[in-house]
Chains A and B, each alone.
Chain A
Amino acid sequence: MASLQEYLFISGLLFAIGLAGVLIRRNIIVIFMCLELMLSAANLTLVAFSRFNTGENGLPDYNGQVLVFFIITVAAAEVAVGLAIIVALYRARQTVDVKDLTSMRG
């Protein structure tokens, strides 16, 4: 079985890739996907800690997994709302490119 460090590193790596995607990509839907990826990476951390941080009875700490459960639930809701916003945005602007969505003259 892989060590906690390895899981955390994979989790961090996924998070970093997601962050890079958010920073680099201009397609707002892809950015949104990358956000989901980052959330999942965080979930991996939680599950890894849950597994390795066993309780007195030797079982994983299920509080962590419950948190993951909540995160997934909220992420689902977020995706639904976010995609609805994107659709509305696209209707208004005919684009999903964040550069083109910028309307301020900074």
Chain B
Amino acid sequence: MLELLSWTMLLLPLCSAAVIQLLLREMADTAIRISVGSVAATFVIALLLLESEDRTLTVQWANAGSFHIEIGLIIDDLSRGMMIVVTGVGLLVHLFSLAYMKEDEARGRYFAGLSIFMFSMTGIVLASNFIMMFIFWELVGFSSYLLIGHWFQKDSAAEAAKKAFLVNRIGDFGFMIGILMLWGILGTFAFREMAGSATVLVDSNSTLTGIAVLLVFCGALGKSAQVPLHVWLPDAMEGPTPVSALIHAATMVAAGVYMLFRLQFSAGIEIFEGFAGTTIAWVGGITSLLAALMATQQDDIKRVLAYSTLSQLGYMVMAVGLAGDHSGEAGMFHLYTHAWFKALLFLGSGAVIYACHHEQNIWKMGGLFQRMRKTTITFAIGTAALMAIYPLSGFWSKEQILEAAHHDQPVLFWLAIIVATLTPFYMTRLFIVAFLGKSRGHGAQEAKEVPPIMLYPLFALSCMSVIAGFTPVAEKLSPAFHHPSHSFSPTNPVFLISLAALLIGISSGILLYRGRDSDPLAGNRLFKVFRNKFYFDEAYLVLVRVFQNAVAVVVHFLDDFVIGNLIVGGLVRSASGVGNLFRKLQSGNLQGYAFLFGAGIILIIYLTVFAR
């Protein structure tokens, strides 16, 4: 039964995608029904599986000597919780999309894409070994490409899809090498066989293991959009907003964190000790700080949320990289809570955008609270959860991360506190500018409440945003949940510091942005840097250009001189040279022939008679 359910959970979305893609592209409504049905079914299965025991189901795929590749599903605490997040958010996003994409011409293609995504994400979560995970990893990248580029008629969307794909490929290349290195070190791809092997290996070969882990982390760097490969995520907001909610906020970008934690979970925490873990934690911390700074100056509502996602992902990566006692579990806990409230925020922003006739600039919104009260309230709940206001879900998970950072890396703790100040700041800015005050744009003035089919997912998500953090709920649903070592107390210094950060952030946000029509910080040179995303894209452009030019010069040299002149030209020259030589011989000159003939005879006589 368990077996059947698990395989169904994996394959149902694939079947749905295939059926839609092959048969039903023109019959959009049937396609949508199939897609939503399949995701609903997988969600039910995920719920059913919550009570099952830990199992690993495997099928041998390829054997070569001692080298085995299997296809398998791993059912344990981690994957069960992750499946709830994936299918739960997935289901709600599907429902939301019903309304959001109602007028889209290519609804069938869109839902097929969503189904492929659900399939690949399920594959990542349930993968029992690295090879399978890598395959689904790529599939996720592919479906993300499809969905970002859904409106491929828009140049920016096509560009963004390409960018996401390429940037991810960079990370995936490292990931692949890392997988192979880990295979060389641990001798297996399967997660369940890794257990306990790390302790021995790290002692004997720590540098190599560290490098392998860092290479594997490269994959997470791409998928979870960590600095310096974060550039694709904000651009990915070109896709439909529900896609942003599902893929680029709740699930896919969390896959990197999930994969890192899966490795940590299977091979033992020791594998992250040493420079590898430190590097990962620092990359996470720096990402969260930079992204938070960039988020303060974005005008596009989705981009603010995108950078905030980056920032929160940085938190998670940092937590996993800390490799302290249960810091990884804290990261996963944050992943779980973040998925709910970030999906809520994205869907909320989607509702707002929908209501404002596809207006995304927050400075042209404003006053939405009067017009779409329900949406605003759900958005407020999401915002509060993201700000980590007690007792919403974000608070609990963030507190766990801060606790872990405080325990293991005080420097990173203070860095995280800065982020914890910035998060409320930019979220306050967003909320005040977009929802309060008076309407500044045409779209905002005509906005009215979104249809119920959009609201229900928002309600469900805000509900989850509120309750997901409480221990009884988290115990059940969160992947690899770990009870905090000490229960929450108001006198905990970590809590006090983060509370102070929260208050500073909120109050400065309110002070700066209340009643403003334009950003007062826009003229500031420092904030201009933030607005321009630290010139990452420009730097990459320069880098790419320089690199490309260098490569071009080398390639041109190779092409022109080595291939063109030496090989091709050389062949030509040698051919024509030999041809000329033989032309001389093939002169038609009888005496020449006779001479050569005689010389040949002389030579043959010499060889057969004298040179023996």
Partner-B contacts on A (CB < 8 A): 19, 22-24, 26, 28, 31, 98-99, 101-104, 106
Contact = CB atoms under 8 A, between A and B. Distances in A.
A19 B587 CA distance: 20
B358 interface: no
Interface residues of B, number: 12
B14 to A, nearest CB: 71
Contacts of A22: 594, 598
Nearest to B590: A98
Given A23-B595, A23-B598, A106-B583, A99 B589 contact: yes
Contact of A104 (B586, B594, B595, B598): B586
Interface string B590-605: 1100110010000000
A106 B595 contact: no
Contact of A102 (B584, B585, B587): B587
Given A31-B590, A102-B590, 6 more contacts: A22-B598, A23-B598, A101-B590, A106-B583, A106-B584, A106-B587
A21 B587 CA distance: 20
Contact of B587 (A24, A26, A31, A104): A104
Pick the 6 closest A-B CB pairs, nearest first: A106-B587, A104-B588, A98-B590, A102-B588, A102-B589, A106-B583
A26 to B, nearest CB: 7
Contact of B588 (A19, A31, A106): A106
Contacts of A101: 590
Nearest to B601: A19
Contacts of A102: 587-590
Contacts of B585: 106
Nearest to B580: A106
B101 to A, nearest CB: 76
Nearest to A22: B594
A104 B586 CA distance: 8
Q: Among the interface residues A26, A31, A101, A106, which one has the most CB atoms of the partner chain B within 10 A?
A: A106
B591 A26 contact: yes
A103 B589 CA distance: 9
Contacts of B591: 23-24, 26, 98-99
A39 to B, nearest CB: 15
Q: Among the interface residues B591, B594, B595, which one has the most CB atoms of the partner chain A within 10 A?
A: B591
Nearest to A26: B591
Contacts of A99: 589, 591
A69 to B, nearest CB: 25
B164 to A, nearest CB: 64
A87 B598 CA distance: 26
Nearest to A24: B591
A24 B591 CA distance: 7
Interface string B547-583: 0000000000000000000000000000000000001
Contacts of A106: 583-589
15 contacts: A22-B594, A23-B595, A26-B591, A31-B590, A98-B590, A98-B591, A99-B591, A101-B590, A102-B587, A102-B588, A102-B589, A104-B586, A106-B583, A106-B586, A106-B588
A98 B588 CA distance: 9
Contacts of B587: 102, 104, 106
Contacts of A103: 588
Contacts of A24: 591
Nearest to A106: B587
A19 B595 CA distance: 9
A17 B62 CA distance: 79
A2 to B, nearest CB: 24
A31 B586 CA distance: 20
Contacts of A23: 591, 594-595, 598
A32 to B, nearest CB: 11
A31 B588 CA distance: 16
A24 B590 CA distance: 10
Contacts of B586: 104, 106
Nearest to B587: A106
Nearest to A102: B588
Q: Among the interface residues B583, B585, B586, B589, which one has the most CB atoms of the partner chain A within 10 A?
A: B589
A10 B587 CA distance: 34
A25 to B, nearest CB: 9
Contacts of A26: 591
B561 to A, nearest CB: 33
A99 B594 CA distance: 13
A67 B25 CA distance: 90
Contacts of A28: 590
A33 to B, nearest CB: 14
A28 B594 CA distance: 12
A3 to B, nearest CB: 20
A22 B591 CA distance: 8
Nearest to B584: A106
A26 B590 CA distance: 9
A85 B332 CA distance: 99
Contacts of B588: 102-104, 106
Contacts of B595: 23
A98 B590 CA distance: 6
Nearest to B592: A106
A22 B594 CA distance: 7
A98 B595 CA distance: 14
